[in-house]
Structure formats: structure tokens, C-alpha cells
Amino acid sequence: MANKNGADRVDVRKTYKQYVGGEFVRSESGRAYRPDGMVNVPRGSRKDLRDAVRAARTAFAGWSGRTAMNRGQILYRAAEMLDARRAEFEELLGGGRKARAELDETVEVLVWYAGWTDKLAQVTGTVNPVSGPYFNFTIPEPTGIVGIVASDDPALAGLVRRLAPALCGGNVVVALAPEHRPLPALTLAEVLATSDFPSGVVNVLSGQRKELLPWLASHMDVNAIDVSGCTPDEVALVEAAAADNVKRVVKLPAGERSPHLVTAFMEMKTIWHPIGV
């Protein structure tokens, strides 16, 4: 490329990194792969996955303890920051009408779930009729660490459709970027890093799914895993590994938005309280 004086200069190519514990890191093994034959992408390892789960567990108490309104504000901020980088993401998604439509949907999903954070308790919780001088309440609470396996298509919207409901309910996330199209997910991590999310709330790993998925499914400190981006064989692998540690395995419908998708990653807590006390 020539500068204004006519001299040639070397293009500075972007270095893609994983996002773990609020930091952008290379794989601890130093390995990389080229899903498009050109760009080096970190090839995450078992240790990278363990580090991500540890960071998520550390962040869980703070994130789940925030007010619902504040979590909604942060999700909305992520939508703002994503929309501000529209040109970059459209290019990553291949350009054209399809890329614009996917980006529009992704922004809308973040805004939609941002609006639901402070309404979940009213819609999914209830006051139960009981026989006795008591109130009986059912209240939704976050599950904890949610593993997300993103689909290759759509590479960006497919990840955010799963990410937003998990974060909306107060969970923290360890996400595996699409193996064959990881760049939108890794670039989304840059957006999340500038959107007021505390360190460790969202962690994004890249690499080969056959290496990372068994460890994600069998990790004792992961509470649930969304297999919406998995093949039938991968779902069977996850279910077998998760059975040993009673991990919740969920496959959510593609493209649907509902506050009840949030409760797929929540526990229902029942509280008794004496009347008049």
C-alpha cells in the first residue's frame, strides 16, 4: 500500500485473540489455525478452557448480584457499541443485504433482552396458592456458568441469540466461537470489552470443537451448556459427558425470542413467608 508520499508500507494485519477474564490472550499452547486459509486464529486448549471457567466463576457473584436494571443497561450498551462498528462487522459477515440483515437482528436481540432484565421476576415468577397462613413465592435465579456452543451460520447472530438470554438472567458465559467462522465472535468480544461488562462475565474461546467441547461438557464447575450449535453426534457426546456431573443440557429453538428462553438457564427458587411477619 502506498502512502501520501508515494512510498510503499507494510499493511498491519489484525491479530485475533481469545477473550478470557477481561483480557485478550493468545492460546497458552501458542497454537493457531487458519479457518479461511489466511488469518491466524488462536487454537484454544484445555488450559484456556479451565482459565475461562475460573474467570467466569470469579465473576458470577458480582454479575448476578447487580440490579436487573444495571444488567439491562450494560446489554443495551453492547448493542450501541456493536451498531457503532457496523461497517467492520458487515465486512466480516461477507457484505451485502444478508450481512446487514444479520447485523440488524443481532443489535435488536441485545436491545430486546436488555429490556427484559427487570421484568423476568414478574413474568416467570409467581405467588403460589397455599393452604395455611403463609405466602409462597417462586423466584427465578441464575444457574451459574453457562457454556455456549455457537453455530457457524449465522456466525454472529447465532452466538448472540444464545449469549443475550443467558446474560439477561444473571448468568456468566464461556462461549466457543464458531470453528469455521470465528472472526465475528472474536470481534464481538472487543465490543463486549468496551460495554461495561465486568471481567470474566463473558469469555470467548476459539479453536477446534473436537478438542474443546469434551472438556466443556465434563467440567465440574460448568452448570449448563447450550448445544444449539452442535451436530447430533456432538449433542450425544455432550449429554454423555454431562450425565456424570448432572449438568443441564439445552438446545434452544433458532431465531425465537422469549423471556422463557432465559429461564432455560435459571433455577426456580421457592420461598415461604409467614403472613403478617
Residue range 83-93, pLDDT digits in tens: 999 999 999 99
Report pLDDT for 45: 95
Cis peptide before 154 (omega within 30 of 0): yes
Let me know: does 15 contact 41? Beta carbons within 8 Å: no
The CATH number that applies at residue 63 is 3.40.605.10
DSSP classification of residue 263: G
Contact assessment for residue 88 and residue 187, using Cβ atoms and an 8 Å cutoff: yes
Would 128 be classed as within a structural domain?
yes
What are phi and psi for residue 149, nearest 5 degrees?
-105, 110
List 248's β-bridge partners, or say none: 224
Residue 2 counted as domain residue: no
Domain membership flag for residue 161: yes
Tell me what pLDDT residue 259 has.
81
28 in any annotated domain: no
Instruction: Enumerate residue ranges in the chain where pLDDT < 70.
Output: 1-7, 277
What is the SS3 assignment for 197?
A: coil
Kindly state whether residue 15 falls inside one of the protein's structural domains.
Answer: no
CB 59 within 8 A of CB 201: yes
Q: What is the DSSP letter of 124?
A: H
When divided into structural domains, the chain yields a total of: 1
Domain that holds residue 191: 41-274
Task: Determine the 3-state secondary structure of 214 from DSSP.
Answer: helix
Q: List alpha helices for the chain, DSSP H.
A: 46-65, 68-84, 86-92, 96-114, 120-124, 157-168, 183-193, 209-218, 232-242, 259-262
Q: Tell me, yes or no, whether 31 lies in a domain.
A: no
Residue 12's pLDDT is: 74
Q: Distance (Å, rounded) from C-alpha 174 to C-alpha 99?
A: 25
**Mean pLDDT across the chain:** 91
**33 strand-pairing partners:** 41
User: Would 22 be classed as within a structural domain?
Assistant: no
C-alpha closest to that of 168 among 199, 136, 124: 124
Q: What is the DSSP letter of 265?
A: G
Q: What are the angstrom distances between the C-alpha of 154 and each of 16, 106, 137, 165?
A: 20, 10, 39, 17
Question: In this predicted structure, what is the pLDDT of residue 191?
Answer: 96
Give residue 10's pLDDT.
73
What is the pLDDT, as a whole number, of residue 7? 61
Residue 172 lies inside a defined structural domain of this protein: yes
**In the chain, which ranges are E strands?**
18-20, 23-25, 32-33, 41-42, 126-128, 134-142, 145-149, 172-176, 202-205, 224-226, 248-250, 266-274
88 vs 259: CA distance, rounded Å: 30
